[in-house]
Amino acid sequence: MSESNPSHSRTSSVASVLMLTRWFLRTQLWVWPLVAALVLVFIGVWLRMKMEGATKQQIADTLQIILNANTEALHSWSVTMKTDAENLAEDDRVRELVVGLIHQAKSSTQVQAALLTAPQLSTLRAHLKPVLERRGFNGFLVLDTNFLVVASGRDQLVGMQSPPGNVEQFAPCLAGKALVTRPFPSVALLPDEHGNLRTGVPTMFAVAPIRSAGGQIIAVLGLRIAPDTDFTRILATARAGKSGETYAFGRDGKQLSESRFDTDLKRLGLIPDAPDARSTLTLELRDPLVDLSKGRQSPKRRTELPFTHAVSEALNGHAGVDANGYRDYRGVLVVGAWTWVDDFDMGLVTEMGRAEAFRPLRILRVGFWSIFGLLIVGAVLVYVLMRLANRLQAAARKAALKAKHLGQYALDDKIGEGAFGSVYRAHHALMRRPVAVKLLQTEKLNQTSAARFEREVQLTSQLTHPNTITLYDYGHTPEGIFYYAMEYLDGLTLGRLVKQYGAQPEGRVISILRQVCGSLAEAHAISLVHRDIKPANVFLTQRGGVTDFVKVLDFGLVKVRDPQGAAELTMAEATLGTPLYMSPEAVEHSNEVDARSDLYSLGAVGYFLVTGEAMFDCLTLGEVLMHQVKDLPVRPSERLGKPVSPDLEELLMRCLAKNPASRPANARELDDALARCRSAADWTRELADEWWRKFAATQSEKTVVTTPPGAK
């Protein structure tokens, strides 16, 4: 039993698949538009993935750049504001006046009155006014270390104890740190954007410590900044597209800068629908879980909703970017980048509508699907036209067959019918020579049958031995009928011979086997292995006045091997041949058979002729194949229950050896061994002539040379 060669098997399998694929694409033209569409789909999906990845990366980079630019702008602006506050806090005149005001507050029971009437207050206001106006500040205040307002540009604040919320904003300054506070609601009456005085107006301060001559912190100087004039303007400078915005928020999740969608927020009910209502310090940045801009209602109360993805991540201290998309505070899908700014103790978010961000990719998708749709329509149209053409061609084929005309051959009678075609007795239109025409019709073709049909013709045409069937012609008609013409024979196959007449005389068996050896010897000499020697493929006829003349048929499973035994051409990977006559190596490793496999099959045919029965009596294909690989058949003499010439019996059993090396080396050696058998001369020409005279007298049916593929 030979070992398999996995690499060789894989190579043969790939070659077979490529051959059959090429045949299919050549014959089924309607497939090409579909193949093009599938290729385009693959390329389109691949490009889409690449483009989407590149687009997302570009969006992420753009968002990160905008966020970084806004963060840096805030830092630069903050440094400028803190520097102005520190310069004024270190001014000797300011220090002197503040010391006087603190002394007034400590020495008087009527603190507010004493501070308002103190000359230091008016002097300090006058001293700071030009600087504040020049630097764009909207006021000031001075708090002592107990956060008592000892000076301010507004009388109502003087003498007031700063509320707890403001204390938290200014407290770091007592540790010697200058800072810019985040926006917070004012406790004093301040003009809003419409000029109306009210409390709760967003405000922020640049704050710096005031030190005594000895360097001790004695007070805090705060210069008021209107968030709208600087803070919000800075965040609104760099925006992405028509839907982009950058906004700030505090630890409570409320927006600290103005949204560009304030009008929409009023319509959606996220902020009060009042002229003076604004998103700053009012809007809670929560995810509504639905897109409110499309008229949907949030499934939960506002206080039960989570913060948006960006806000939640920033509050947890995670800077990042999301180019896939998430819902913003309106429920609109956006892409965004976020970070937490420790200097301001607030978060920053840069966002852009996802639809706008991916618009170029969407345009690309529309273009791709439009082209793909046109290809599909083209494929369908070509398919319909091909089907119509096939129907017309089928009608033409039927008309040709009905007219009993196939190329240059006139068809007489149908003498065989198979799954994939028919065999006709015919004659050449000019030469009048009788032929058998074997044909396949296009609608019955598949990859295997068409490839086998073509190979059978090509390979058999190389053989010229008298005991090999002769091919005259091959081609296909304009109607699409594939055919080949071969010599027409009267007679019967060995299968029919045994079925009708039983076991055959030893001399006749030897004569038949020797003629088959002659045919195989020529085929093996040019590296062709038949692979399907069986009773149905050995035909017995009369030829040129010679009776009992053998013709070897059906080379459709031929395998070509180079002199070194490497496979050059194989059919599709499958168990090829007829199980009862297959060699063990053909069962186990069908791509590695050689000439000795044909000798095994010929030995099985000889066994069948001598005994009148096949080697194994089995019910299933699996049992047959298992016996072929593992078990020797019962010797012919035991099967018959009577003696068989020992030399012939031994020669048949040698042919049936499981190990190919134990069989005769080649067909010529087997032929010589058969010729030396004692009973070789028992079958004489006279006996053969007598048998055929009786056969001719009793048989009126003429049997065709071979059967169509698939009709064995």
**What is the tens place of the pLDDT at every residue in 565-619?**
333 333 333 344 578 899 999 888 877 788 999 999 999 999 999 999 999 887 6
Helix (H, G, I), strand (E, B) or coil at 535: helix
Over the stretch 396-447, which tens digit does the pLDDT of each residue have?
Answer: 656 655 555 666 788 888 877 755 567 888 888 777 788 888 877 655 555 5
Last-in-domain residue among 293, 323, 357: 357
Q: Provide the CA 7 distance to its chain's centre, in angstroms.
A: 27
Residue 272 shares a structural domain with residue 336: yes
Number of domains in the chain: 3
Tokens 């194994």 correspond to 616
Over the stretch 611-665, which tens digit does the pLDDT of each residue have?
Answer: 999 998 876 888 888 888 888 999 999 999 999 999 999 999 999 999 999 999 9
Q: Provide the CA 437 distance to its chain's centre, in angstroms.
A: 48
Q: The domain spanning residue 162 has which CATH number?
A: 3.30.450.20
Within 13 Å of residue 131, how many CA atoms lie on the same side as its CB?
Answer: 18
Residue 290 shares a structural domain with residue 154: no
Neighbour-count burial for 306-336, b at 16+ CB within 10 Å, e otherwise: ebbbbbbbbbeeebebbbebbbbbbbbbbbb
Give the pLDDT score at 362: 77
Residue 239 CB-density burial (10 A; 0-12 exposed, 13-18 middle, 19+ buried): middle
CB 381 within 8 A of CB 32: no
- In 3D, which of 208, 79, 86, 101 has the Cα closest to residue 159? 101
Of the pLDDT bands very low, low, confident and very high (cuts 50, 70, 90), residue 28 is: low
Tokens 């065999």 correspond to 423
Last-in-domain residue among 357, 388, 422: 357
Report yes or no on 439 lying in a domain: yes
175 has a pLDDT exceeding 80: yes
CB 62 within 8 A of CB 238: no
Last-in-domain residue among 357, 376, 396: 357
Report yes or no on 347 lying in a domain: yes
Q: Is 532 a catalytic residue?
A: yes
Residue 439 shares a structural domain with residue 347: no
Within 13 Å of residue 247, how many CA atoms lie on the same side as its CB?
Answer: 28
528 versus 369: the higher-pLDDT residue is: 528
CA 26 vs CA 22, 31, 288, 457: distances in Å: 6, 9, 59, 19
- The contacts of residue 426 (CB under 8 Å, 6+ apart) are 406, 409, 410, 411, 412, 434, 435, 436, 437, 485
Query: Does the global pTM surpass 0.75?
Result: no
Tokens 């966002």 correspond to 351
Residue 532 shares a structural domain with residue 658: yes
Of the pLDDT bands very low, low, confident and very high (cuts 50, 70, 90), residue 493 is: very high
Report yes or no on 20 lying in a domain: no
Report yes or no on 626 lying in a domain: yes
Give the pLDDT score at 377: 79
Residue 255 shares a structural domain with residue 157: no
Q: Which domain holds residue 175?
A: 90-225
Helix axes 6-27, 447-460, angle to 10 degrees: 100
Give the pLDDT score at 33: 64
Residue 155 shares a structural domain with residue 279: no
Task: For CA atoms 109, 110, 111, 117, give the dihedral sign.
Answer: negative
Q: The domain spanning residue 648 has which CATH number?
A: 1.10.510.10
Q: Give mean pLDDT, residues 360-372.
A: 76
Share of the chain above pLDDT 90, in %: 45
Residue 243 shares a structural domain with residue 219: no
- In 3D, which of 620, 474, 487, 604 has the Cα closest to residue 534? 604
Q: Which of 532, 548, 554, 671 is catalytic?
A: 532
